[in-house]
Structure 1
Amino acid sequence: MRLVFAGTPAVAVPTLEALVEAGHEIAAVVTRPDAPIGRKRVLTPSPVAAAAERLGLDVVRAAKLDDEATAQISALRPDLGVIVAYGGLVREPLLSAPEHGWINLHFSLLPAWRGAAPVQRSVMAGDQVTGASVFRLVPALDAGDVFATIETPIGSGETAGRLLDRLADLGAPLTVDVVAAIASGTAVAVPQEGQPTLAPKLDGLAGGIQWDRPGSEVWSHIRGVTPEPGAYTLVDDARLKVHAAAPAPDLPIDPPAPGTIVEFDGLILVGTLDTPLQLLQVQPAGRTAMPAADWWRGAANGTDRLVTA
């Protein structure tokens, strides 16, 4: 088929590569404009733009799919549009421009977690199972009929970042199969069933840890916001990023109070509503990431504990 592919982050690259490998003609790749990256704010192509250029594909850079982008894409006369985490909405008349419309690879088992942050919200909620869905794009948010899904358990200790990478690899062949079915006229899409849940985008404040919740919920929250927007807590009014944590092993001590940090036998523990968590890797303000035990030796300054704000 003659395709237009829209995507921006690295998780969209496996699907683009799989479509090229399957022999489809990619009329153009639509992605968001180059963005300033790093401390020096160097303008850098999106991962999808870099992959498209490596594959010798034409690239359309568009901050949003406005009239200009719609005209560019429509002039290509694609059979089908494929979108994976582009970062913008497809509206009419662009929605109807390809002969077969648009399909979207979404990283949840729809109708669960419709929105911009399905993987993060799923992990934060403590879900045990998730997956990916390929559905027909419609004007309503992530509400179209579903062509295919794939299901996978969420690993013990798996962060949102690692899970998203895994779902990107699982979703690529799923999308290729759907495109092949549409091309052959055998594709069947079924309406979504069940009560939708929403997954709005997370801002920086979403990473703040609430230690007065049960330990399992706190750990799910930390994993769900790792690596973005990043988990953090306040210690003596200074922000401490928490890059990695884990449930604490059984120890012969009374659990610390919620939000209280203690050291026991080389382990750095933080109290929750019930069972404590163990800090593994942290990053103090203005410093690089380090083992929690190294941070504690400097931060504790001879005292037994620090209390989070």
Structure 2
Amino acid sequence: MKIVFMGTPDFAVASLSALQNAGFDIVGVVTAADKPAGRGQKLSESAVKKYAIENGLKVLQPLKLKDPIFIEELKALNAELFVVVAFRMLPEIVWSMPTKGTINLHGSLLPQYRGAAPINHVIINGETETGVTTFFLKQEIDTGDVIFSDKTEITPDDTAGSLHDKLMVIGANLLVKTVKAIEVGDYSEVPQPESFELKNAPKIFKDFCKVDWNQTNQVVYNHIRGLSPYPTAFTVFNDKTLKIFNAEKEDKEPGISTAAFLTDGKTYLKFATKDGFIKLTDVQYEGKKRMLIDEFLRGMRL
């Protein structure tokens, strides 16, 4: 069975590698166009492109997915199945092309947490369980019929980064299972239920990342770890942005203002919340490198 793989970041590389190691015929890889990055604005290749080139796979990088030249190139590959992992929304002319359909791997237990940032939002919302789902694409995003899913625990100290790495491995294994089932026709399609309250996972913008210290300890803690290491929670400290990568929860005596922060100027910096303190442990000050809190405090005048 000939397969075209579509993806861009590291999360997708694990799936592409797993499919190739399982012996599937990857006839083409579609990924994002190279983009300028860094101070020198040198062109940067996606993680998927780097892997594809290293493994001798054909790479397509369309700027527009409806470009007639790209559509013809895609048709010429004669793929029976398209596999999508962490890529753009596809137009119908693309996802309807292969005879066996187009499948997607999503980083949540659908129908919950449809959208661009499911890994972040499950932690921010304090969930204790999540997973991955494979499904057939259709017009409305993340709504197609489910093929398989697999669950995993969210530990109390998981960050978006650690959960990303767990789901990356679980997802790659589930994808191989899914493609094998499609190849032999041994699978069922289960429509996603719409009869209960759904939680969404929209794209995260900068304003959402600012910490609201008037929230409870748990809410603030979930917010920080759900945005770590990217796009990163932040607060304004001495009129500059202070990114917070990791922190710890502490209880406090009642009556302390939620606007207060405490520090000894050497080893700790903690901000008061509605019912406790959040003790920062791993930060990045505007214009500086990322550092542990004691190193940060040594360079500050408080």
TM-score band, normalised by the shorter chain? over 0.9
Q: Which amino acid aligns with 1:21?
A: N
The answer to whether the 8 Å contact 2:267/2:293 transfers is: no
* 1:242 corresponding residue in structure 2: 244
Q: Does residue 208 of structure 1 match 2:202?
A: no
Q: Does residue 165 of structure 1 match 2:154?
A: no
The answer to whether the 8 Å contact 1:77/1:97 transfers is: no
For residues 81-133 of structure 1, the C-alpha deviation after alignment (integer angstroms, 9 at most, x for no partner) is: 000001x1112221211011100000000011101111111111111111000
Offset of residue 254 of structure 1: 5.9
Coordinate RMSD, CA, aligned: 1.7
For residues 225-277 of structure 1, the C-alpha deviation after alignment (integer angstroms, 9 at most, x for no partner) is: 112211110012211111211112x57x6674324220269432210010211
Counterpart selection for 1:218 from 194, 217, 220? 220
* 2:271 corresponding residue in structure 1: 270
Distance 2:255 2:127 in 1: 26
Deviates further, 161-170 or 213-222: 161-170
Q: Which runs of 5+ in 1 are unaligned?
A: 302-309
Distance 1:298 1:16 in 2: 44
Distance 1:168 1:283 in 2: 27
> Which aligned pairs between 1:1-309 and structure 2 lie closer than 5 A?
1-68=1-68, 69-86=70-87, 88-193=88-193, 194-248=196-250, 256-263=256-263, 266-301=267-302
* 1:304 corresponding residue in structure 2: none
Q: Which amino acid aligns with 2:197?
A: Q
Aligned with 1:150: secondary structure?
Answer: strand
Distance 1:31 1:71 in 2: 16
The answer to whether the 8 Å contact 2:36/2:43 transfers is: yes
The answer to whether the 8 Å contact 2:66/2:93 transfers is: no
Q: Which amino acid aligns with 1:236?
A: N
Q: Which runs of 5+ in 2 are unaligned?
A: none
Q: Which amino acid aligns with 1:57?
A: L
Q: Which amino acid aligns with 2:158?
A: E
Aligned with 1:178: secondary structure?
Answer: helix
Q: For this pair of structures, how many residues does the alignment match?
A: 298
Q: Percent identity?
A: 37
TM-score, scaled to structure 1: 0.91
